[in-house]
Amino acid sequence: MKHGLEIMGIGLLDVANNKCMMLRAHQTIGNSALKMRNKNLVEYYISVMKRYSKKLLSITDIVVADAFFSTSTFEKGMSELGFYIVSRFRDNACLHYIPKKEKRRGRPRVKGDKIDLANLNLSCMEELHIDGLDGKVYTLEAYAKALKKRVRLVIWRMPGGKCKLFFSTKLSMTGEEVLKTYRTRFQIEFCYRDSKQFTGLMDCQARHKRQLDFAFNASFASLNAAKVFIKDNGMDNSMAKVKSLMFNANYTKLIFDMSRCRPNRTLISKIVKELIGWQPKAA
């Protein structure tokens, strides 16, 4: 990445309704700045999360991140801050079954046999039935070598035979909650898309760090306001319709201002609504 051209976004996910609201955007520093601070990219992201940890912990103790963050460095940093992680392992992750309790002398075993994704031991796991998901899904408690701890593991075997591995460091979560939480993570990508298309995320031409930071977060704040407007007015979840509505409302007001006419909106409310276009239709 280059300085000022990549941002880290922190969003709040509503797993039940499959929605996301952006909380904060933070610029990613360049490689030269990372070397000066003697940090890698993951350690820098941890420092950003630490900056907002108190406010975030008042909302939730679960952090959802993609497979890039399924490392011991990130997990340890989040654990020290008081967060649990929901993420996805790489396809070649080293995982082990949890051994059964044995009455023997010495230190009990931490891990059992290695999990062979091609030949799963179905007696050690529970099958989940997820509506709308092709293939088969299994969950179990497993030992992750990369994290050096136990995790709630979800194995999704797709129709082609390939497996995807999802996990949570919060063992009290069910397999269905882990999978649903991770899949909701993709809603943050729609926030980036809508901000680029409708609220000017890419339009700022400033070069100063503070000015760029203000522009990024103003763009996401506008997106959040539009989502609240959509919910309050019972509209379809479409930023294009909101933008069309705002344009029509402003254009209608401009016509009245230029004509110096102040119509009685109670009498011509139907006309005003038609002009504004509460239900804008695509051409």
Per-residue pLDDT tens for 20-74?
Answer: 999 999 888 888 888 898 988 899 999 999 999 999 999 999 999 988 888 899 9
Burial class (CB in 10 A: 0-12, 13-18, 19+), 280: middle
In this predicted structure, what is the pLDDT of residue 283?
Answer: 42
Model pLDDT for residues 110-125, shown as the tens digit of each residue? 788 899 988 888 888 9
User: How much of the chain exceeds pLDDT 70, in percent?
Assistant: 89
Which pLDDT value is given to residue 29? 84
**Nearest residue to 145 via CA among 92, 75, 95:** 95
H helices of the chain, in order, are 31-36, 41-51, 53-57, 72-81, 175-184, 187-198, 209-232, 239-259, 269-276
Mean pLDDT check: name the lowest of 92-96, 134-138, 143-147, 267-271.
267-271
Length of the chain as a residue count: 283
At 218, phi and psi to the nearest 5?
-65, -35
Which band of pLDDT confidence, cut at 50, 70 and 90, is reported for residue 276? Answer: low
pLDDT tens track for 185-239: 999 999 999 999 999 998 888 888 899 999 999 999 999 998 998 888 777 777 8
Confidence (pLDDT) at 34:
86
- Report the C-alpha gap between 69 and 73 in whole angstroms: 8
- For residue 265, pLDDT over 70 is answered with no
**Residue 107 pLDDT greater than 90, yes or no:** no
The mean pLDDT value for 154-159 works out to: 91
* Residue 141 pLDDT > 90: yes
What is the reported pTM?
Answer: 0.81
- How far is the CA of 164 from the CAs of 64, 114, 167, 245, in angstroms? 16, 16, 10, 42
Start-to-end C-alpha separation, the chain: 39
pLDDT (tens digit per residue) in 1-14: 555 578 889 999 99
3-class DSSP assignment, residue 139: strand
Say yes or no to pLDDT of 170 above 90.
yes
Q: What is the pLDDT of residue 269?
A: 66
Cβ atoms of 102 and 108 closer than 8 Å:
yes
Residue labelled with tokens 């929901």:
86
Q: What pLDDT sits at residue 112?
A: 83
